Amino acid sequence: MTTRAIQTSAAPAAVASYSQAIDTGQLVFLAGQIGLDPATGQIVDGGIEAEAERALRNIMAVLDAAGLSMSDVVKTTCFLADINDFASFNAVYAKFVADPPPARSTFAVAALPRGARIEIEAIAVRSDD
């Protein structure tokens, strides 16, 4: 199997030994994105809603670099630092996903990098069209 790393400056650069995404040809696996502004490298202000929107915009930027869009996403995994943020997060998330929405798992975790409130990873599939 041949793999190719996807990288774009429109999303935050990897801060450790990982790629923004790996393209296998059919499947594209996106690394988790937090609410980092790619221009400043800082978590955006505004709470869970602002962080969720920024994380999703980062995902969209990586998908775009791979020649894909949110409508190609089949699975997301979402990590919340506080499960009480679920409803607020879900309201933002619903604005970004295509119909039918992708399969999703959401977990509460003890902590996220850089003090983030949300991290989202995704898997997208290239259509055979």
pLDDT tens digits, 58-85:
999 999 999 999 999 999 999 999 999 9
CATH topology of domain 4-12+20-125: 60s Ribosomal Protein L30; Chain: A; (3.30.1330)
Q: What is the pLDDT of residue 15?
A: 78
- What's the average model confidence in pLDDT over 103-126? 97
What is the C-alpha radius of gyration for the chain, rounded to an integer number of angstroms? Answer: 14
| 3-29 per-position pLDDT tens digit | 999 999 999 998 789 999 999 999 999
Any idea where the domains of the chain sit in the sequence?
Answer: 4-12+20-125
**% of residues, the chain, pLDDT over 70:** 98
Computed over every residue of the chain, the mean pLDDT equals: 96
Give the global pTM.
0.95
